[in-house]
Amino acid sequence: TWRMEDFAEQTISELREKIGDGKVLCALSGGVDSSVAAVLLSKAVGKNLTCVFVDHGLLRKDEGDMVSAVFGPDGPYDLNFVRVDASDLFFSKLKGITEPEQKRKIIGEEFIRVFEQEAKKIGKVDYLVQGTIYPDVVESGLGGESAKIKSHHNVGGLPDYVDFKEIVEPLRYLFKDEVRKVGLHLGIPEKLVMRQPFPGPGLGIRIIGEVTPEKVKIVQEADAIYREEMDKAGMNKTVGQYFAALTNMRSVGVMGDERTYDYAIALRAVNTIDFMTADAAEIPYPVLKTVTNRIVNEVNHVNRVFYDITSKPPGTIEFE
Ligand code: XMP
């Protein structure tokens, strides 16, 4: 087996040799893979690397600030960091759109358009960094199940929207757990490295139906409470992926003496080996109860919480 410290040192020196003083561009999502790829490149070429972080406004609570704290000018790495706040653009494009595939398509296309605009400002680029890992290579090659069922906007396909010489994919032979080891070795904060998967279209596919700033806020707050309580219960290390989603359902409830007519949140938690199939995780009832009580008390416009115990198949992990 590879020792990941050796992998990191060797990769950095190979990248340095290959790239020389060429200009490198990286689309940083804040996910594990793109973060580790970015740090390897930053160690190899320093300020010749520019990372563009497109914040589509569909990230989890405080996530954009967390990414900026790590990669921005106050963080430990030597690189050019550009954060683009494109949330207004995404919200306006998504207005009135309810069909899941259409939502995904819009988010994917706008993401590329915004990235492309930033790339143009940078000027000539020699290399484009991709955080592709081994399972992505296999999945896009074989047309993996979820690739067929849903369009994964960040997997597969050669980007032709920026003019560059070559793609560099420093993680293409690594599995996720190896990428994490490399990330920890490179000093990337644990909360970023051990992060659970988060889909490219973000909260856009965890809100059933039309996406609005208000709905994003609701799901962000509910999800933050869920994660906080899972951390407290020590469940964050044992469950594969978990999150809150906003059903588009509203129902009648009562608050004090008043009737409410508000949204229902769905909690999802799954264990999975390869994300192609998954089982609902058995979250202890007291944890579910605390999360539910906190969400209905603390999050405006939520008066009901459901726990989804559907396995995949026939359900999917995400809701859209
Ligand atoms: P599903 O919902 O298809 O999800 O059961 C399987 C895994 O893939 C993630 N997922 C995505 N990841 N872009 C991504 O990068 C996407 O468009 C996307 N859609 C789903 C999902 O979070 C789960 O881990």
Same domain, yes or no: 138 and 254: no
Domain endpoint, select from 193, 222, 251? 193
Q: How far is CA 122 from CA 26, 50, 64, 83, 147, in A?
A: 12, 8, 22, 13, 32
Asked if residue 200 is part of any domain, the answer here is no
Q: What pLDDT does 136 receive?
A: 84
Tracing tokens 């929207």 back to the chain, one arrives at 161
* 178/249 same-domain check: no
| Partners of 266 in the β-ladder | 245, 306
Range of the domain at 175: 4-193
Residue 241 Cβ < 6 Å to ligand 1: yes
154 and 278 in a single domain? The answer is no
Amino acid at 211: V
Number of domains, the chain: 2
Q: What is the pTM of this model?
A: 0.91
214 lies in the same domain as 82: no
Q: What is the CATH number of the domain that holds 276?
A: 3.30.300.10
In a mutational test of the pocket of ligand 1, which residue from 130, 155, 318 has the highest number of ligand atoms less than 8 Å from its CB?
318
What pLDDT score does 135 carry?
Answer: 86
The pLDDT of residue 4 is 87
CB 114 within 8 A of CB 150: no
Which mutation among 152, 241, 279 tests ligand 1's pocket best, with the greatest number of atoms within 8 A of CB? Answer: 152
User: How far apart are the CA of 318 and the centre of ligand 1, in A?
Assistant: 6
Average pLDDT per block of 10 residues along the chain, 320 residues long? 86 98 94 96 97 97 95 96 97 98 96 92 92 85 46 48 85 94 95 91 98 98 98 93 97 95 98 93 98 98 98 97
Tell me, what's the ipTM? 0.99
Q: Which residues contact 252 (CB under 8 A, 6 or more apart)?
A: 259, 260, 261
Question: Do residues 93 and 214 both lie within one domain?
Answer: no
Contacts of 184-190 spanning 24+ positions with Cβ under 8 A: 185/4, 185/5, 185/8, 186/8, 186/36, 186/39, 186/40, 186/43, 187/76, 188/35, 188/36, 188/39, 188/70, 189/70
One domain for residues 124 and 148: yes
CATH of the domain at 182: 3.40.50.620
Same domain, 53 and 165: yes
pLDDT at residue 156 in the model: 44
Residue 211 shares a structural domain with residue 185: no
Looking at the structure, tell me whether residues 216 and 277 fall in a common domain: yes
**Is residue 312 in contact with ligand 1, taking CB distance under 6 Å?**
yes
Centre of ligand 1 from the C-alpha of residue 17, in Å: 35
**Helices 176-185 & 32-45 angle (0-180, nearest 10):** 40
